[in-house]
Each structure stands twice: as C-alpha cells, then as structure tokens.
Structure 1
Amino acid sequence: MDNVQNEWPLWEVFVRPKAGLDHKHCGSLHASDAKMAVRMAREVYTRRQEGVSIWVVRSDQIVASDPDQKDQLFEPADDKVYRHPTFYTLPDAVNHM
C-alpha cells in the first residue's frame, strides 16, 4: 500500500464547518483523483458530520509566497494606512468580520 500512496498525488483538504463562514485547512491525504480525494476527505475529516462543504486541492497546484521574502512582500502595506479598516465602524449586523 505504501508504494501506491507514494505514486498517488497529495491533496490538501479544506472543510467548511456548519457554524463557520470559510473553509479551514484540515490536513492532507493521498488519492488517485479528485473524486476519490473528496470521498476520502469526508471519511477522514468529517466523521461526525461537522462539515457542510469540502474542498480538495492538489498540493503541487498550490502557489505560495517565499517566507524568506516576507519583508518585501508585506512591509510596503504598513505605509498605506488607508488599506486598514480603522476609519469606519461596521454595523452590528456584520458581526462576523
């Protein structure tokens, strides 16, 4: 079985909980295709029916920033205070933000 799993692609699993607004990363699994990845994710990460939606993404398809370049990527935002939502008040109806 280990040889088969080593040949199958790695999938990242995201689940939207019943009470949640966005998908949360739950973990990873090996599966032969997307359909199988969703089925396996349901079995592994939502055993108690705590989810309402599952996303699976092949790990090799994820593009991420380089942690070593965080200063040049995130530092420029500090001088643009207008991008921060501190100049207005949200109504109580929008309590999840």
Structure 2
Amino acid sequence: MSRIGTMSNATWEVFVRMRRGMSHQHVGSVRGIDSDTALAHARDLFTRRDDPASLWVVPSDAIRAASPAEKPMVFSNAQDRPFRYPDDYVPLHEGDGHA
C-alpha cells in the first residue's frame, strides 16, 4: 500500500481545469482518508455548477512552495539569462525598413 493510501483524514489540495488548453487553478482544500475519497469530496464541493475538463487532488504535504526568504536563492538564476530582459533589443519604428 502506498504512503498516500495510508494517510488518515489527510488534507488534499484541489486543482480544477475548466477547459482544454487552460491551466489548472487551485480552488481549495478537502479532507479525506485516501485519494478516491478526496476526489469525491472535491467533485461535490468544487464542480457543482460547472463541468470541468479535469480535477486533481494532491496531498498537501507533497506540495513544496518557496517562502519569501528563499526568493534570492530560488530566483537568482534569472539574472544570468539576459534574453529575459529587453536591454539589447532595438525598437522598431515606421519608416526604418524593419516593418
């Protein structure tokens, strides 16, 4: 039996994707003893009015988020990628032959 299947009344985060091509959005949390129970609770709570393309439940303790204190460490590599910043781009103007 998996670790997830042995959790007693664990908290599960719920993500819904309303249509194909869209991103999943976090819509809330449910409690359940296993993933099937959590999925049933999520369906009852978060899909009453709509018919989503997909519904995910993820154990809360499986989610790792960066805290504000970790921002320099987590996002520091963005400074090493100059293509992310428009410093070296030349603006296009009408009449200069670039249109």
Number of residue equivalences: 80
1:10-55 Cα shifts (integer Å, max 9, x gaps): 0000000126511100000111110011111111001012411001
State the alpha-carbon separation in 1 of the partners of residues 45 and 61 from structure 2.
21
**Identity across the alignment (%):** 39
Instruction: Report the Cα offset of residue 73 of structure 1.
Output: 1.7
Which amino acid in the other structure matches residue 9 of structure 2?
Answer: W
Instruction: Report the Cα offset of residue 63 of structure 1.
Output: 1.9
Aligned residues: CA RMSD: 2.2
Structure 2 stretches of 5 or more lacking a match? 1-7, 90-99
Match of 1:26?
27
Q: Does 1:16 align with 2:37?
A: no
Q: Secondary structure at the match of 2:53?
A: strand
Which amino acid in the other structure matches residue 71 of structure 2?
Answer: K
Which amino acid in the other structure matches residue 59 of structure 2?
Answer: R
Match of 1:44?
45
The structure with more radius of gyration: 2
Structure 1 stretches of 5 or more lacking a match? 1-6, 88-97
State the alpha-carbon separation in 2 of the partners of residues 50 and 20 from structure 1.
15
Q: Secondary structure at the match of 1:37?
A: helix
